[in-house]
Amino acid sequence: MLNKMSLAALCMMLLAGCQEPPQLQEAAPLAVSSLTVDQPVTSQFRTFKGQVEAAENTPLAFRVEGELQRVLVKSGQQVKKGELLAELDADKFQQQRNDAQVQFQLAGKQLQRGRELFERKMISKAELDELSANHKLATVNFNSAKRRLGYTRLVAPFDGVIADVPKESFEAVSPGETVVSLYQDDLLYINIAVSDNVLAMINPQQVNRSYQPMARFGIESQTYPVTYREHTGELEPQSQTYRMWFEMPQRESAILPGTSVSLRVDMAEAGLSTLQGYQLPMTAIEAGRETGQFFVWKLDGNQVQKVEVGIGQLNNDGAIVSSGVSEGDHVVTSSLRKLREGMEVSLLSKPAEEAQAE
């Protein structure tokens, strides 16, 4: 019985030895999407938010004190150059002018009489000099009184629109106190805030003065070309930004001060950026463990290599890669976290955008 069992076990072992060993099935290469690095960027658009300001918004005030007799304009009213805007009670200044005129006329007559007497040797040279000095003083006082009387009338220094009228008739005003604000209605200014990085890009030798950014106002879709005007050189302490102004002619349906503005600027065309690089989508870029460290996976045949890159700028289309890639390189745009150095991959036939969506 024992011999039969041993013989059966031996036969089973022989049969097992004759069987082929199990084969290990190789894993299929990881299917990925890719793109070819295109030509370097030729335009670098940035959008700045701003606000419309009144062009040449000028506060107007009287040069003398007094009581407002009447204010002839109101906010939003169009006026012409030289048009009367407001008047002070001029009675006091009219009386001062009349008194000065009388003194001027009297001093003139006295000087004429003194010259005749001097020719007859009836008065001394010193007495004639005193009469001449009195006449000069009376002349100065008379001219000053006439100017002060003229200062009781406030007129428009240019064609424009009344922005604000903070004073009303019969109110007392002091010299230099704003009575009316006037702005030009044929121009409008656009005020935007820019960082010190943008301001540092301005190089007078490289800036394209003929370039005009495009402005869009409020919720409108229409855009308008605007022209650079000026910028500040002092940092605003609260916002930590600088101010830059652009201007454009006012359109037929006027754009009012305070309207929001989106200003789209091609930084390269304007000569405000020396940044060079290649536009890549964010799906092609992998962040490293260290701050500011970024990588792409380049295709070398059917294998991948991890390459560190420099990011020059982020924008709505992804990032501008300033170093690490060249035109014509093939980079992976999907499954970046699954890749390993030297790993073999296969390319999806679908476009990268469709593969990513799936």
Architecture category of domain 91-144 in CATH: Orthogonal Bundle (1.10)
User: What's the pLDDT band for 76 if we cut at 50, 70, 90?
Assistant: confident
Task: Give the pLDDT band of residue 7 (cuts 50, 70, 90).
Answer: low
The tokens for 297 are: 């996976």
pLDDT per residue as tens digits for the range 126-165: 999 999 999 999 999 999 999 999 999 999 999 988 988 9
In this predicted structure, the answer to whether residue 281 has a pLDDT above a threshold of 90 is yes
Asked if 224 and 248 touch (Cβ cutoff 8 Å), the reply is: yes
Half-sphere exposure in the Cβ direction for 50 (13 Å, CA): 28
Q: What is the pLDDT of residue 43?
A: 67
The alpha carbon of 312 is separated from its chain's Cα centroid by a whole number of angstroms, namely 22
What local confidence, expressed as pLDDT, does residue 273 receive? 63
The token pair that represents 183 in the structure block: 């702005």
Neighbours of 30 (CB within 10 A): 16
The Cα 163–Cα 171 span in angstroms is 19
The answer to whether 339 touches 345, Cβ cutoff 8 Å, is: yes
- 56 contact partners, CB below 8 Å, separation of at least 6: 158, 160, 183, 184, 187
Q: Is the pLDDT of residue 75 over 90?
A: no
What's the distance, Cα to Cα, between the start and end of the chain in Å? Answer: 67
For residues 100 and 275, the model is more confident at: 100
What pLDDT does 356 receive? 45
pLDDT band of 4, cuts 50, 70, 90: low
Structure tokens at 66: 């007094």
Strands 30-32 and 345-347: parallel
Q: Per CATH, which fold does 275-357 belong to? A: 2.40.420
In this predicted structure, the answer to whether residue 238 has a pLDDT above a threshold of 90 is no
What DSSP letter does each residue of 195-241 carry, written as one string? -HHHHHT--TTT--TT---EEEETT---EEE-EEEEE-SS--TTT--
Classified as helix, coil or strand, 324 is coil
Reply yes or no on domain 49-55+184-270 having CATH 2.40.30.170.
yes
* Count of residues making up the chain: 358
- What is residue 13's predicted lDDT score, i.e. its pLDDT? 57
pLDDT of residue 358: 42
**Domain coordinates in residue numbering, the chain:** 49-55+184-270, 91-144, 275-357
